Amino acid sequence: MKNLIGILFALSVLITACKKYAPAPEAFFIKPAYVNVIPSSPSTQGSGSSKITDLFLYVNGKYQGAYESGNLLPIVSNGEKAELTLFAGIKNNGISETTITWLFYNQIKIDTIVESGKTINRGFTFNYNPAVNFVWMENFDGAGVSLIKSAPTSTVTTLNLINSGESFENKSAMFELQSNISLGQFETAIDYALPLGNSNIYLELNYKCDVELEVGVTDGVTLKNAITLNPKSEWNKIYIQIAEAVNRQPAPATQKIYFRALNPNQLNAARVWLDNIKLITL
């Protein structure tokens, strides 16, 4: 038996030694120097504020993987010319486990040939997809404001425009709930026609808040919550998918966007800041 085991072991070593392994595919690497967004028309598309967390990479039409936007991108090219296609990835509703391809930005295409083993630094600038419909935008920098106070907000609560160290870009909006106010609500001044049955209805915004902030749609009577944002002490960018709320019954032809701050413990000076709001569809 021992002799048999020894023979089998020797054969396995011999077979392993005779195997031919294919050489590792040759690759080069791209280190993203920056990943940003520059609107092609700031007057109609608003701020370039973004939060691209991942890059979805295709090489010669084949999906290669999703990589965090600050990480190296390995390009398997075997020393030949490679056609690269990159899509921006974002956290849907700000949830880390739900990274999606953000189709509201154009893809980036690159034809390149780089020596295998090399690492090059390159920035990536995305633009908005020309098919995006900007239904409503508010950056609080104009002469008027398209958000109004709505019931059951106390008459004490007002929407203030700030242009200081607490603002995000230029002017930002801030409303404050005093210690005797448990909630405050603002909504768009007009209703907007949103495509029912469409899943690509989003609200982009920059925000920070001392208390929970509900964001949703309303017909003026029924509130349909899309998301409840947790307190954030620093400015945050978020892409909120409000399609489910828009399509939830009752689903009239036109609806408003609302922001509702909840202050059940009636904290002193509970505040909400907003900037660069965009209601977009695709």
11 band by pLDDT with thresholds 50, 70 and 90: very low
| Residue range 163-167: mean pLDDT, rounded | 89
pLDDT over 60 at 22, yes or no: no
Q: What is the pLDDT of residue 16?
A: 42
Residue 39 is given by DSSP the state: -
155 band by pLDDT with thresholds 50, 70 and 90: low
| Residue range 100-127: mean pLDDT, rounded | 94
| Residue range 55-63: mean pLDDT, rounded | 95
- Can you tell me which residue has the tokens 């120097």? 33
- Shortest CA distance to 247 belongs to which of 191, 196, 199? 196
Q: Give dist(CA 242, CA 265) in Å, integer.
A: 28
pTM tops 0.85, yes or no: yes
Q: What is the pLDDT of residue 9?
A: 44
Residue 113 is given by DSSP the state: -
What's the pLDDT tens digit per position in 168-188?
999 999 998 887 788 889 999
Asked if 28 contacts 114 with a C-beta cutoff of 8 angstroms, the reply is yes
Relative to beta strand 172-177, strand 133-138 is unpaired
pLDDT over 60 at 96, yes or no: yes
Q: What is the pLDDT of residue 25?
A: 63
Asked if 213 contacts 270 with a C-beta cutoff of 8 angstroms, the reply is no
Q: What is the pLDDT of residue 154?
A: 61
Relative to beta strand 27-37, strand 119-126 is parallel
Q: What is the pLDDT of residue 258?
A: 97
Greatest extent of the chain over all pairs of C-alpha atoms, in Å? 94
156 band by pLDDT with thresholds 50, 70 and 90: low
What's the pLDDT tens digit per position in 124-144?
999 999 999 999 999 999 888
